[in-house]
Amino acid sequence: MTLERHDKHENTKMARFVLTALGGSSIEWYDFFLYSTAAVLIFPVLFFPSGIPSYVALIASFSTFAFGFIARPIGTIVFSNLGDRAGRKTALVVVLTLMGVATTTIGLLPTYAEIGVFAPIALVLCRFAQGLAIGGHWGAVVLLLTESAPPEKRGFYGAFAQAGAPIGLILANLAFLIVSLAMPSEDFMEWGWRCPFVVNFALVGLAIYAKFQLEETPSFHAIEVSDPLDLRFRSEPAPVLQALAKFPREIGLAAGAVLAVQVVSITFLTFGLAYASEIPGIRRSDMLVVLIVSSAFHIPWLFVFGKYSDRCGRFKISQLGAVLLGVLAFAVFPALKSGSLLVITVVFCMGQTFIAMMYGPYAAMLSELFSAEVRYSAASIAYQLGAMLGGGLAPVIATLILTTTGSTIWISVYAALACLVSWFCFQRLRGIQAQAPSLIAGGCYDGVGVK
């Protein structure tokens, strides 16, 4: 009876972790993707001079978008130190607050017509703050779940952390779709677009309240110091420096492994939205629906492949996803040019499935690479470095490729090369594991699922 009560308590605690982490992650990514959609639909018109060519305004808007990715590794350095020393829960509360303030502020900013050049400057600062928050948030959510999960279910539970991204994307695009359909286009461009940004603050408040109800993870309790908040007088180097010194090869390869997901998803979900808006017969609302449907299709596959990786290993399924995604990259623009919403939706759903083959197992894979005392720092810096290199400049690069060459085929080549890099990095990580399994597990876990 005592054992049954213990099991019931553990299951209840894990369910609380899952729901709270998924809710907070979804809200955090909702905030981040609100900017992505607005960078295509709103900011080129309202936050830059009206006299410049549209493609120049789009590049400028995408450049402010990139600042969020540049800030992500910096946010990792700042908040991983807090997360590794003061706890995963503490870090989550801080980054959620930062994200809420930054996103709400975007919805209140005056436009270029009102304050001139200070409008895009303020936009960049808010986007930078969003990037800092995401840089600290992802690692905390991943570790909250994978450190609390049973060893044989880390891939499955880690997928809940990953599911926050497509759920956030759905919510962001759904918010813009509802607001844009609820009012005339003039009202939407004048003030309606601000609503999804401003209402977010209430959502963040609920997420912060839920985070305070959580316990710390077992792995953190095992390394917790007697006074974790007394950070200034710790004699050892910052966890991020320890992580870079101890696991430089693993961090570099793990960053490369996520390039395919970042380049392809950001290029085709953000730049693709802008590209499709110029195709006759495709309305803005049509593409928002495509993004919502394909993102919803993406979510269950995260759990399928996360669970599969628990049984058969993280690397094989991820490598297959990289290959398939690289091939599909050459089908995206022909699908967009066809003007058929059915064809576009099918291709985007296929892409989301192949992305899930890598993104689903990725949380558990990263968690199992590093030892507990630097795990937050090492896993976060690997992921955010890959996100910055892969996703931050992807829309700018795609726009420059198109305006320079006049052909979309080279954008597909760019995306396929990113998939090739990720395939190679997965292969190298598999090789390291085959040579020294104890290194790939970092001596921190049991290596379950790391094959």
423 to each of 252, 257, 261, 283, 418, how far by Cα in Å?
14, 7, 11, 36, 9
Nearest in space to 375 (alpha carbons), one of 312, 443, 428, 438? 443
* Helices 2-41 + 154-182 axis angle, to 10: 40
Q: Does residue 183 lie in a domain region?
A: yes
Report pLDDT digits (tens) over 202-241. Answer: 766 766 665 555 555 555 545 554 444 444 445 566 777 8
Mean pLDDT of 349-356: 95
The CA distance from 341 to 336, in Å, is 8
Dihedral sign for Cα atoms in the order 43, 46, 48, 51:
positive
Query: Exposed, middle or buried, 425 (CB in 10 Å: 0-12/13-18/19+)?
Result: buried
Mean pLDDT of 301-309: 94
Q: Does residue 229 lie in a domain region?
A: no
Report pLDDT digits (tens) over 83-140. Answer: 666 666 677 778 878 888 888 899 999 999 899 889 889 988 998 988 888 887 777 7
Report pLDDT digits (tens) over 392-439. Answer: 778 888 888 988 998 999 999 999 999 999 999 999 988 776 665 544
Domain that holds residue 341: 2-219+237-440
With a CB cutoff of 8 Å and minimum separation 6, the contacts of 300 are none
Q: How many domains does the chain have?
A: 1
Question: How many Cβ atoms from other residues are within 10 Å of residue 357's Cβ?
Answer: 26
Report pLDDT digits (tens) over 59-92. Answer: 777 777 778 888 888 888 887 767 666 666 677 7
3-state SS string for 133-152? HHHHHHHHHHHHHHCCCCHH
The CA distance from 71 to 295, in Å, is 25
Whether the pTM exceeds 0.85: the reply is no
271 to each of 61, 282, 287, 414, how far by Cα in Å?
11, 15, 12, 13
Q: Does residue 412 lie in a domain region?
A: yes
226: Cα separation from own chain's centroid = 33
Q: Does residue 89 lie in a domain region?
A: yes
- Is the pLDDT at 444 greater than 50? The verdict is no
Q: Which tokens belong to 259? A: 């390039």
Q: Does residue 406 lie in a domain region?
A: yes
H helix or E strand, kind and range, residue 77: helix 54-86
Q: Does residue 446 lie in a domain region?
A: no
In CATH, what number is assigned to the domain containing residue 323? 1.20.1250.20
Query: Exposed, middle or buried, 142 (CB in 10 Å: 0-12/13-18/19+)?
Result: buried
Q: Does residue 177 lie in a domain region?
A: yes
The CA distance from 103 to 120, in Å, is 15
On whether the CB atoms of residues 99 and 204 are closer than 8 A, the answer is yes
On whether the CB atoms of residues 367 and 445 are closer than 8 A, the answer is yes
The CA distance from 278 to 289, in Å, is 17
Q: Which tokens belong to 329? A: 């990259």
204 to each of 25, 130, 149, 402, how far by Cα in Å?
10, 13, 25, 38
The CA distance from 262 to 387, in Å, is 6
Nearest in space to 260 (alpha carbons), one of 70, 387, 428, 158? 387
Nearest in space to 120 (alpha carbons), one of 59, 174, 64, 78? 64
The CA distance from 30 to 96, in Å, is 12
pLDDT class for 315, splitting at 50, 70, 90? very high
The CA distance from 76 to 94, in Å, is 13
Report pLDDT digits (tens) over 253-271. Answer: 999 999 999 999 888 877 7
Q: Does residue 232 lie in a domain region?
A: no
